[in-house]
C-alpha cells in the first residue's frame, strides 16, 4: 500500500489579483514549516493582467486591450496572463515531496490529469482533442497563451489548429515549490485574440464544476490525501501583510 500525504484542499471565491498572489505566496512560505502540500483553486473578481516575475513593466504597453485593467506581478516566471474567464489552480509542495525537485515531472503529472478531465468535459465536441505541446516557440511573445513550452496543454480543433488552453509556471524556494496555472475556459473581451474552450468547442465548462472534478484525480495521481480546508487565521494575516507590503506596491509591480 502506498502511503498518501495529507494535503490541504482549498477552493476560494473570486478575489482581486493582489490577494490571489499573496495567498499563494503565504502558502508557499507555510509549506516550509508544516511540510504539508496545498491544492488550491481560485478565480478573479475582475479582469487582471499578471506579469511574469522577469517581465518588464513597460512591456505592458504591448497589450493595449488590458491597459485599463488591474495589473499584478507574479512570483513565478513566464509570460503575462489576462485572468478573466478561467479557473486558476495552485499546487504547493514542501521540499520533501518527491516531485518538488523535478520541474518537468511536476508539470507533467499535473497536466496529464488536466488533459484527462478536460477531454472528458468536451466529449460531445467532435474532433476536438487536448494534447501536450511538443512544438516549442522560437520567440517569447508578451502573453503566456501565445507562447509554446514543453508540456503546455493545447486544444486541437477540427481545422487542425492548436490553441493553448493551459499554461503553468513555477517558483522554487528553499522550503518548497509553487506551481500555479490558468485554465482558459472562455475568451475574455479584454483579450479577444485568445479563444477559450467555449469558443473552440461550443461547450461551456463552469469553473465550479471543474474545481470539483479535478481534486480527486490530482490526489490519486500525486498520492495525496485531500483534507478540505480554509485559510487559518494565521495564514490569512500573513497573506494580508504580503498583499499590503508587496502586491499592492508599485515597487514590486514596477520592479523591472
Instruction: Give residue 160's region: left, alpha or beta (phi > 0; psi -120 to 50).
Output: left
Query: What CA–CA distance (Å, rounded) separates 33 from 193?
Result: 42
With beta carbons less than 8 A apart as the criterion, state whether 51 and 24 touch. no
Residue in 186, 177, 249, 163 with CA at minimum distance from that of residue 43: 186
With beta carbons less than 8 A apart as the criterion, state whether 89 and 193 touch. no
148-162 exposure pattern, b = at least 16 Cβ within 10 A, e = fewer:
bbebbbbbebeeeeb
* Catalytically active residues, by annotation: 144
Helix, strand or coil for residue 56? Answer: coil
Tell me what percent of the chain is helix, strand and coil, each rounded to the nearest 5.
Answer: 35, 30, 35
Amino acid at each position: 500500500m502506498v502511503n498518501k500525504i495529507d494535503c490541504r484542499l482549498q477552493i476560494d471565491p473570486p478575489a482581486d489579483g493582489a490577494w490571489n498572489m499573496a495567498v499563494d505566496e503565504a502558502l508557499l512560505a507555510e509549506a516550509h514549516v508544516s511540510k504539508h502540500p496545498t491544492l488550491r483553486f481560485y478565480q478573479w473578481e475582475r479582469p487582471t493582467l499578471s506579469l511574469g516575475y522577469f517581465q518588464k513593466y513597460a512591456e505592458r504597453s504591448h497589450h493595449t486591450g488590458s491597459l485599463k485593467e488591474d495589473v499584478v506581478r507574479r512570483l513565478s516566471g513566464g509570460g503575462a496572463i489576462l485572468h478573466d474567464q478561467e479557473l486558476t489552480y495552485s499546487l504547493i509542495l514542501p521540499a520533501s515531496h518527491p516531485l518538488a525537485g523535478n520541474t518537468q515531472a511536476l508539470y507533467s503529472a499535473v497536466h496529464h490529469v488536466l488533459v484527462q478531465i478536460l477531454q472528458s468535459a468536451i466529449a460531445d465536441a467532435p474532433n476536438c482533442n487536448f494534447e501536450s505541446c511538443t512544438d516549442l516557440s522560437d520567440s517569447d511573445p508578451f502573453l503566456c497563451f501565445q507562447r509554446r513550452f514543453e508540456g503546455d496543454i493545447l486544444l486541437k480543433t477540427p481545422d487542425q489548429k492548436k490553441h493553448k488552453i493551459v499554461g503553468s509556471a513555477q517558483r522554487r524556494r528553499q522550503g518548497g515549490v509553487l506551481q500555479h496555472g490558468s485554465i482558459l475556459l472562455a475568451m475574455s473581451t479584454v483579450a479577444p485574440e485568445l479563444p477559450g474552450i467555449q469558443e473552440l468547442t461550443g461547450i461551456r465548462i463552469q469553473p465550479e464544476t471543474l474545481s470539483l472534478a479535478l481534486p480527486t484525480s490530482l490526489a490519486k495521481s500525486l498520492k495525496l490525501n485531500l483534507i478540505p480546508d480554509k485559510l487559518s487565521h494565521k495564514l490569512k494575516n500573513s497573506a494580508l501583510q504580503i498583499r499590503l507590503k508587496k502586491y499592492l506596491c508599485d515597487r514590486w509591480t514596477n520592479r523591472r
